[in-house]
Structure 1
């Protein structure tokens, strides 16, 4: 992990291990935790570039754990196309000079996701509305991804509203996160915003992320996943508030 101090290297390793634990316990959250914590230590742009490889590896793993990849891709491809389009547009702001705006945006995205998941009521999207709503949700998700590096708003609540069974839901989230990661990588590379040192660090960060996932899967059998999830969301809510205030002050 060249170009970073030893204390920052330790923080990066600990962050990806902790993010892996969250993903191992809850099935999601690695990019969100990594962006939230690293975004409070580095610029959102630097945090996003470190996130790319661990996010890609862990989400591809999640994507191919289920048997219905082809069917889900056939159903969700309009959303995936507009995720790419929105991310390419939004990444222009993430790679720009107004870093305080991206910090505020990252904080708001974390708070929105945490608050909705804690307090929001599940909703249902009918099959009649899905053809026109999916591209709009994809575009909004892509814009948020491009600006903040966070993939979950509004993609996660929307995919959860499609009445998929558990295995299909996990695989659909893996598909959305994988496409978002690839689109973010393309956007950052297009703008020349991925230094070679950060790419190497991102590659090495796969190791603590996978170790954390294994630890999280073991922990899951010993704790209450709903309680863990609530504590995790409260942490994101407070972290997002701190980042938004820091970017505004």
Structure 2
């Protein structure tokens, strides 16, 4: 495995850096319930090929999201599936479609179109704006943000910010928000694995690297969950908004650079 990864530019120093980045990503995910793919793809792609960076986050994302979704039991996870089934269905379909375009579509346009409203939403909420989605508008918001999440996720492996924005605007309680994010991201991660087994991004050369990243991801997530358990609803909301705004800024950075 080491010889194969060395051919991709993964020296021992870069391997150590990759492990450290993944640990931080796991910690942030354990604390806020999202942002692992964002942190991993941003960090890993700065010194690895885009394909290897994307492959590296796939297994950690899948395993940690399944753990997050089932933390309160199967029954609670199933309630989240039923409540947000339209969002999940639209997002899943868009992941499958957009994943096939990962090598053909210029992702910078997509990053910009999603990054601008996400950054603005997070910033306005931090300074005191509290939007709410009216019941009569919830279906439209669910379909639109589900599609946005799936398109960005299929291209980059980062599908969390639109869902977090949606749940925050609904005023979702902390435990339910984290559980719903886990369910959504776990379903999306299964689709991402299937998509990139087909696209060739996840293969016998990249799969061992993705498996290795599981170790720091799980360690970081365990510590982050201990921190999350100590946060009240308002502190959790603020931490989520900060990470959400950073996610939006990161998408804009990728659109520009």
Instruction: Name the SS of the counterpart of 1:93 in structure 2.
Output: coil
Match of 2:43 among 37, 41, 49: 37
Structure-2 residue corresponding to 1:197: 205
Q: What CA RMSD, in Å, does the superposition of the two structures yield over aligned residues?
A: 3.0
Structure-2 residue corresponding to 1:118: 123
Structure-2 residue corresponding to 1:14: 20
After superposition, give the CA deviation of every residue in 1:152-184 in whole Å (9 maximum; x if it has no partner).
Answer: 242211122233322211111111111221222
Instruction: Name the SS of the counterpart of 1:154 in structure 2.
Output: helix
1:32–1:110: 8 Å Cα contact kept in structure 2?
A: no
Match of 1:50 among 46, 49, 56: 56
Structure-1 residue corresponding to 2:33: 27
**Distance change in 2, residues 1:49/1:110 (3 Å):** farther
1:88–1:183: 8 Å Cα contact kept in structure 2?
A: yes
**Distance change in 2, residues 1:110/1:35 (3 Å):** farther
TM-score of the superposed pair, with normalisation by structure 2? 0.79
In the aligned structure 2, how far is the partner of 1:218 from the partner of 1:110? Answer: 30
Number of residue-to-residue matches in the alignment: 242
**Distance change in 2, residues 1:170/1:225 (3 Å):** closer
Matched, 1:214 2:240: no
Alignment of 1:146-225 (within 5 A): 146-217=154-225
Match of 1:128 among 129, 136, 156: 136
1:21–1:216: 8 Å Cα contact kept in structure 2?
A: yes
**Distance change in 2, residues 1:60/1:235 (3 Å):** same
**Higher mean Cα deviation, 64-73 or 14-23?**
64-73
**Distance change in 2, residues 1:185/1:111 (3 Å):** farther
Please report how far the alpha carbon of residue 42 of structure 1 lies from its aligned counterpart in structure 2 after TM superposition: 3.0
In the aligned structure 1, how far is the partner of 2:252 from the partner of 2:29? Answer: 22
Gaps of 5+ in 2: none
Structure-1 residue corresponding to 2:107: 102
